[in-house]
Amino acid sequence: MTQVGWRHLVAVLGVVFAIIPLLFVLSAALNPLGTLSSTELLPTGASTENFSKLFGSTGFPYWFVNSVVIAGVAASASVFLSALAAYAFSRRRFAGRRVGLMSLLLIQMFPQFLAVVAIFLMFSTITDLWPAFGFNTWWGMIFLYLGGALGVNTWLMKGFYDTIPKELDESAYVDGATHSQIFFKILLPLIAPILAVTGLLAFIGTINEFLIANVFLTEGTSKTLAVGLYGLIAGSRDTNFGMFCAGTLLTAIPTVGVFMYLQRYIVEGLSAGAVKG
């Protein structure tokens, strides 16, 4: 009995640690006063006032749509781009392959957001020439995030490709398949677990990205959740706290949705990708 008992104890303590801040957020979101100083751990009231204020008096609906679209498109596109590149690195032998793999890792290690001055200057020009891809646009932001598409993800995926027997695509080659048919019809379905994991990581990373978005998206309706919610409590921290927490809870919905959707692949992908990362 003790052999199982300690396991339950550890799990319960872990859950308590995980839950306390979440309870606090929930309680603040339901708190009719909506201030930080009046918030307790357990909900003292139940009102949807914070939620209605959030939708009525801020740009929250816009921020939400912006975040979901930008993170969704950027994550899917970046997963696709790195799946393409990882295929070349895993299955093809070409000049510059090792150098390419190493430089991907190295470029990633440069603190990218310090290039934000350069990015700002660059996008000032782009905004002048092609406003559709400039500041405060979905496309500009997505393209900017796609700059980091190749990188750690490519490494993770390459590791996963390496675990798939080469004989599989070789036999397809014998049967007359083109390289693109091998990639799209044979390998892509097989690497679904790692696509799910990197997709989830990219989605979470993008939705949480604050710094570059803060420079890039300045107009009220173009902001993402990170930028918008931060602005909500930047000025009046105490009074808007309830609204902020309501927004936080709603922000978790897309992430949980993506997580649920990809769940069956995730554990498998995390472990398998890790083994040969």
Which string of b and e fits 204-241 if b means at least 16 CB within 10 Å? bbbbebeebbbebbeeeebbbbbbbbebbbeeeeeebb
Q: Does the protein bind other proteins through residue 191 (CB under 8 A)?
A: no
Total Cβ atoms within 10 A of residue 249: 16
**Smallest distance from other proteins to CB 147, Å:** 3
DSSP string covering 75-141, please?
A: HHHHHHHHHHHHHHHHH---TTHHHHHHHHHHHHHS-GGGGHHHHHHHHHHHHHH-GGGSTT-HHHH
Among 52, 220, 237, 261, binds other proteins (CB under 8 A): 237
3-state secondary structure of 58: coil
The interface region with other proteins, picked from 43-51, 56-64, 255-263 by CB under 8 A, is 255-263
Distances (CA, A) of 116 to 111, 122, 148: 10, 10, 14
**Smallest distance from other proteins to CB 142, Å:** 10
Q: Measured between alpha carbons, how far is 238 from 229 in angstroms, rounded to an integer?
A: 14
**Smallest distance from other proteins to CB 46, Å:** 19
Q: Evaluate whether 23 touches 41 at the Cβ level (below 8 Å).
A: yes
Q: Between residues 69 and 204, which has the closer beta carbon with respect to other proteins?
A: 204
Q: Does the protein bind other proteins through residue 174 (CB under 8 A)?
A: yes
Among 211, 218, 220, 261, binds other proteins (CB under 8 A): 211
Q: Which of residues 58-87 bind other proteins (CB under 8 A)?
A: 81-82, 84-85, 87
Q: Does the protein bind other proteins through residue 57 (CB under 8 A)?
A: no
Q: Between residues 47 and 88, which has the closer beta carbon with respect to other proteins?
A: 88
Q: Does the protein bind other proteins through residue 236 (CB under 8 A)?
A: no
Number of residues that bind other proteins (CB under 8 A): 105
Q: Which of residues 89-128 bind other proteins (CB under 8 A)?
A: 91-94, 97, 100, 105-107, 109-115, 117-119, 121-122, 128
Q: Between residues 65 and 266, which has the closer beta carbon with respect to other proteins?
A: 266
Q: Does the protein bind other proteins through residue 42 (CB under 8 A)?
A: no
**Smallest distance from other proteins to CB 73, Å:** 13
Q: Does the protein bind other proteins through residue 186 (CB under 8 A)?
A: no
What the block records as the tokens of 24 is: 């606090």
Q: Evaluate whether 56 touches 43 at the Cβ level (below 8 Å).
A: no
Enumerate residues 6+ apart whose C-beta is below 8 A from 36.
28, 237, 238, 241
Q: Does the protein bind other proteins through residue 228 (CB under 8 A)?
A: no
**Smallest distance from other proteins to CB 57, Å:** 19
Q: Does the protein bind other proteins through residue 272 (CB under 8 A)?
A: yes
3-state secondary structure of 148: coil
